[in-house]
Amino acid sequence: MTTPASPARATTRRWTLGAAALGWAAAYALNEVAWTWLYGTVLGLDITTGWASMLHFFSYDTIKITLLLTGIIFVVTVLRSFMSIERTRALLGGKREGIGNVLAASLGVVTPFCSCSAVPAFIGFVASGIPLGVTMSFLIASPLVNEVAIALLLGLFGIGPTLLYVGAGLVIAIVAGMVIGRLRLEGQVESFVYETRLRGQVIDSTAGLSWDDRLAMGREEVASILRRIWPYLLVGIGLGAVIHGWAPADFFARYAGPDNPFAVLVAVGIGVPLYSNAAGILPLIDALYAKGMPMGTLLAFMMATVALSLPEMILLRRVLKPRLIATFATVTALGIVAVGYLFNAIL
């Protein structure tokens, strides 16, 4: 781990990174042209309608989304290796509610974290004296505002909707955590959490890493996320392609457009039990947006899908009693619904 920095090695690393970045940019720039050439010129298909249009969209979208995911997950993981959950906890120590919630939600976005560690992180936070509401702000923000969603929103919709999503996710996490704090639900935490005595020295999980280690972590994270999400990704892009090629242009606008007051409620109602991740949902959202569904409804649908998942709640049941889990889910879902209506009203 403590490889001495040798100049020759640093030069090789710079060249490899530079070549990879160049290859990535070239593939991204040529993606659409290459598929249009293959299907249109080489195979002589009319790629503006029906099956050929679907096939063209599917090929192009799969490559584009894989490239976006690879690039952004790699960069985010390398940057995040400078942050750790141990440091996050130290930063949150002694903070009051309010400012603590704001800080916890923001740190939830930048701290490397996976929901498989939700339980030890929860115990580590609460047992060290961080208020329950502040801890919940962290636990809500972490899956709600995630790098996969940011990567795909940026690539598919641009910077505006991406910032809206990040801002809305932070506000939901802050407010939901404050509400849970006010409700005085400390008795709804399994009592062993408060009895846990933290002993031993705390070691920082990312201390003493060299650049080679951090780049290797980036590569491993890309591989592990792609391995986990590719089935969702293909189903999402496939459904998106079907909608793209076959659904009439105003189909969704007519039934789930801005004029339907229940559209957001229905979208969140479908999204909460639906367990997927951002990678599966966003290609679908892209296609639905093109067919006239409003952004607020779509963002609400995506947030409901990624923020609240049954597997995570089953894990959290080890430390939280059912009433607190129900409160957590209800408050978060209400926040998402409110954000959906707000965006539909102002956009």
Q: Can you tell me which of 116, 310, 314, 347 binds other proteins, judged by CB under 8 A?
A: 116
210 neighbors 2 (Cβ within 8 angstroms):
yes
Helix (H, G, I), strand (E, B) or coil at 36: helix
Q: Can you tell me which of 66, 115, 117, 210 binds other proteins, judged by CB under 8 A?
A: 117
Applying CB under 8 A, does 309 fall inside the site for other proteins?
A: no
| Least gap, CB of 140 to other proteins (angstroms) | 17
Return the number of the residue (121 or 153) whose C-beta is nearest other proteins.
Answer: 121
CA 7 centroid distance within chain: 37
Calpha distance 326→270 (Å, rounded): 17
Contacts of 337 (CB under 8 A, 6+ apart): 264, 265, 268, 300
Q: Binding to other proteins (CB under 8 A): which residues in 211-230?
A: 217
Contacts of 244 (CB under 8 A, 6+ apart): 53, 54, 57, 287, 290
Q: What Cα–Cα distance (Å) separates residue 112 from each residue in 126, 171, 278, 282? A: 19, 20, 17, 22
Residue positions counted in the chain: 347
- The secondary structure of the chain in percent helix, strand, coil, rounded to multiples of 5, reads 75, 0, 25
Applying CB under 8 A, does 205 fall inside the site for other proteins?
A: yes
Range 131-164 burial, b when 16+ CB lie within 10 A, else e: bbbbbbbbbbbbbbbbbbbbbbbbbbbeeebbeb
| Least gap, CB of 216 to other proteins (angstroms) | 9
| Least gap, CB of 199 to other proteins (angstroms) | 6
User: Taking contact as CB under 8 A, which single stretch among the options 38-46, 102-110, 113-121, 320-328 is the one that binds other proteins?
Assistant: 113-121
Return the structure tokens found at 59: 């090929």
Applying CB under 8 A, does 143 fall inside the site for other proteins?
A: no
| Least gap, CB of 119 to other proteins (angstroms) | 5
Return the number of the residue (3 or 49) whose C-beta is nearest other proteins.
Answer: 3
Q: Binding to other proteins (CB under 8 A): which residues in 1-20?
A: 1-2
Applying CB under 8 A, does 89 fall inside the site for other proteins?
A: yes
Applying CB under 8 A, does 80 fall inside the site for other proteins?
A: no
Return the number of the residue (86 or 97) whose C-beta is nearest other proteins.
Answer: 86
Return the number of the residue (43 or 114) whose C-beta is nearest other proteins.
Answer: 114
Q: Could you write out the DSSP letters of every residue in 140-154? A: HHHHHS-HHHHHHHH
Applying CB under 8 A, does 113 fall inside the site for other proteins?
A: yes
Total residues at interface with other proteins (CB under 8 A) = 33
Q: Binding to other proteins (CB under 8 A): which residues in 168-197?
A: 192-193, 195-197
Site residues (vs other proteins, CB under 8 A): 1-2, 84-86, 89, 112-113, 116-117, 119-121, 123-125, 127, 192-193, 195-203, 205-206, 217, 318-319
